[in-house]
Amino acid sequence: MMRNCFVWITILLVHGFAGFSQTFYRGNDLSYVNQMEDCGAVFKENGVPKDVYQIFADHGTNLVRMRLWVDPAWQNDLVQPAGVKLQYSDFEDVKETISRSKAAGMQVLLDFHLSDFWADPGKQLIPAKWLGVAYDVNALKDSVYNYVIQVLTDLNNDSLMPEMVQIGNETNGGILRHTTIDENYNVGGSVSSSWARHAQLFNSAIKAVRDINDSTTIKPKIALHCADPKNISWFFSNIISYGVTDFDIMGFSYYYAWHKKSIAELGSAVKSLKTTYPAYEVMVLETGYPWTTQNFDAYPNLITIPDPQYIPLFPEKQLEYMVDYTRAVMKNGGSGVIFWEPAWVSTPCKTPWGQGSSHDHLVLFDPVNVNFMDNGGGRWTEPQFYEDLNTVKVTFKVDMTGQDVSNGVYIAGDLAGDTAGIFPMADNGHGIYSYFTYLTPGDTGSYCFLNDSSLIAGETVPPECAIGGGTLRRFTVEESDKVYAYTWGTCYPPGIPETVKVTFVVDMTDQDISDGVWVTGTMTGDPWKIMAMTPVGNNLYSYSLNMHPGDSGAFYFMNDNVWGEREDVPAECSPWWGVDRGYKIGIKDTIYSYKWGSCESLGLTTLYRDKKMEAGEITSGIEIYPNPAYRKVFIQTSDCDPIKAVMIFNYSGKLIRTTNDNTLKPEVEISLADLAPGIYFYKVTTESNFVCKKIIKL
């Protein structure tokens, strides 16, 4: 340890703050939270049970969104634990959510799905009680109008009037369209795709809101909602062209996992909409971002693809993403961002698609204790991140490989605007730790890394990259985002690749391969996709892809592309749910190689190629693979220059084996079963060439 950081900076930076001129809504959709409590979830902060609405309010949430279904009777068929109500997201549940939100000092946005079920771009189910007038647009308009009037009147009578209402949910293809829903919750029976019809229904609901405003103190703003930034320009120009104009907020959903747009592109979409339609506010009504790739229950994760600019995933990275996201919306004139289902924690309760939560990797509470993660995305609503939008992001990274990190890793310096201090750094995995902050361009400051929370636990900074007599590092804030990255106690940056090559290999000796060999798992952007494996010779099959360091998940092999036709993985090597193999990706290319249905590793660390040489393909040189090897190696050349003989020497140069086959071949297999682990040299002779190669036997 060193005393360098003990010599402290006495001149602090002073920042001005450019406040946001209008209310900016930092919202969370809490549609599930009442049910989660009934299902047994006890929400905590600092390990102490606390009202979940107050937790969100205390961290800067100023808007709560909740969905409202007309009559979600389908929930009655779900077998739930004792004490769980038959229905949620109905009128009584919404009243509870609004009451608790307002009691905690937050405003509310009531999302009229105008359906008995989830409404989205592919599902706009007409409520069962309105099916009799589904094809009579005038009668359906009256049903919509009377329903909205009744809901808002009853809420107003109980002093629960929402500050905003949303007419429809992700209505890209219209509203109140479908008449049937099957046992798998697929809708059908589209009444009409006419936007002239949809416009009448939108306007009927809007008129109901405006009419109720005449007699209420709170006069809700009206939001319309579509999904995906690429659709917003068309959607709003189209709906306005059909005469739907009396609304206040142009809202949309944007998730990286589904829409594949960067934060910069998000900002551009907001700016374009504001420029084209300056009379309307623009809000992101739904978004979300995970903090891990891990799944904590049997319900598959829903949002699985991270933004490549914000990996690897860990709680602080979720916070960083959401803050950058929200700042981009603010900078470009937007009025709010809402995070979808941050409290949908894993419980014994069921949805139509499974038990638990598809958001347990995304919620703002840890999955074991349901404790608010103060190092994670739950802090994205705190106003401190948005007080000065002229600041830029500065990120500090340190590689602690080989260092003692048992007491944590910290950074000390002028990193909080006008306050110097000691700040915890986030564990990125593989020895890398990071900390991000927002500072004013042109500012300079000093810092150093610590492996304890005390100033005397600092690194020794080499003189060539230190200031102040070799005690501290220096940073200068530039006009754009900047990263300062070093290995502990050096002037050298750490090295961590964005992706590494991962290969899955299985030995199918004595197995039925008539229907092919396959692998499935969570390793792609399409989890549990069944992927064909490629034969590489001698009953080995492989599949390769690029993955991000820190990724982890489950996989197993199959001998057909039909669910159920899979290997039985022994319990001692099935860490996922007791039946599946597991992977955790490091910073180097990796091979996971096993014998079918066994814990026996093939010991492969590299493969010459992912697939066998195609017929007629000409390769140059001689290749031996795998290397290092466990039980056997393959030696391969081209058909034009087949192998004549192979000689094996031990490390001392003694010839221990000669393989001399009278049949010339482009590929030969050599067993290593009788060789002790160690280093060997192979001399491979072809018709026109020879080469010597070093082989490691594991």
User: Can you give the pLDDT at residue 41?
Assistant: 98
Q: Where in the chain is the domain with CATH 3.20.20.80?
A: 25-385
Fold for domain 623-697? Immunoglobulin-like (2.60.40)
* CA distance to 9, 34, 83, 652, per residue, from 94 (Å): 53, 9, 18, 80
pLDDT category at 7 given cuts 50, 70, 90 is very low
| Alpha carbon distance 556, 602 (integer Å) | 15
User: Can you give the pLDDT at residue 19?
Assistant: 37
Fold for domain 25-385? TIM Barrel (3.20.20)
User: Can you give the pLDDT at residue 696?
Assistant: 73
pLDDT category at 686 given cuts 50, 70, 90 is confident
Tens digit of each residue's pLDDT (9 = 90 or more) over 172-194 = 999 999 999 998 899 999 999 99
Write down how long the chain is. Answer: 698
Nearest Cα to Cα of residue 116 among 128, 106, 102: 128
Q: Could you give the angle at which helices 195-213 and 229-241 cross, rounded to 10 degrees? A: 80
Spatial strand order of the sheet with 655-665 comes to 655-665, 643-650, 678-686, 690-697
The mean pLDDT of 579-606, rounded to a whole number, is 85
pLDDT at 526 over 90: no
pLDDT category at 640 given cuts 50, 70, 90 is low
Fold for domain 4-16+388-487? Immunoglobulin-like (2.60.40)
The hierarchical CATH code for the domain 500-595 is: 2.60.40.10
- 295-299, 313-317, 391-395, 688-692: range with lowest mean pLDDT: 688-692
Instruction: Specify the residue for token string 């709170």.
Output: 218
User: Can you give the pLDDT at residue 95?
Assistant: 98
User: Can you give the pLDDT at residue 499?
Assistant: 77
| Alpha carbon distance 240, 235 (integer Å) | 9
Describe the chain by its helix, strand, coil percentages, rounded to 5.
Answer: 20, 30, 50
User: Can you give the pLDDT at residue 122?
Assistant: 94
- 75-79, 197-201, 548-552, 590-594: range with lowest mean pLDDT: 548-552
User: Can you give the pLDDT at residue 587?
Assistant: 65
Amino acid occupying residue 262: S
Q: Which residue has the higher pLDDT, 250 or 677?
A: 250
Mean of pLDDT over the chain:
89
pLDDT category at 495 given cuts 50, 70, 90 is low
The mean pLDDT of 87-97, rounded to a whole number, is 98
* CA distance to 64, 300, 410, 581, 667, per residue, from 270 (Å): 21, 32, 37, 43, 59
The mean pLDDT of 575-586, rounded to a whole number, is 90
State which of 482-491, 509-518, 581-590, 628-637 shows the largest mean pLDDT: 509-518
Amino acid occupying residue 482: K
The mean pLDDT of 377-399, rounded to a whole number, is 96
- 16-25, 297-306, 317-326, 348-357: range with lowest mean pLDDT: 16-25
User: Can you give the pLDDT at residue 18?
Assistant: 34
Quote the distance between the C-alpha of residue 22 and its chain's center. 31
Q: Where in the chain is the domain with CATH 2.60.40.10?
A: 4-16+388-487, 500-595
- 10-14, 98-102, 144-148, 247-251: range with lowest mean pLDDT: 10-14
pLDDT at 373 over 90: yes
The mean pLDDT of 102-111, rounded to a whole number, is 98
Catalytic residues: 170, 286
| Alpha carbon distance 610, 615 (integer Å) | 15
| Alpha carbon distance 362, 349 (integer Å) | 18
User: Can you give the pLDDT at residue 639?
Assistant: 54
pLDDT at 2 over 50: no
Query: Are 108 and 85 spatial neighbours (Cβ–Cβ below 8 Å)?
Result: no
User: Can you give the pLDDT at residue 638?
Assistant: 58
The mean pLDDT of 591-618, rounded to a whole number, is 63
Q: Percentage of the chain with pLDDT > 90?
A: 73
Tens digit of each residue's pLDDT (9 = 90 or more) over 13-70 = 233 333 344 689 999 999 999 999 999 999 999 999 999 999 999 999 999 999 999 9
Tens digit of each residue's pLDDT (9 = 90 or more) over 316-345 = 999 999 999 999 999 999 999 999 999 999
DSSP 141: H
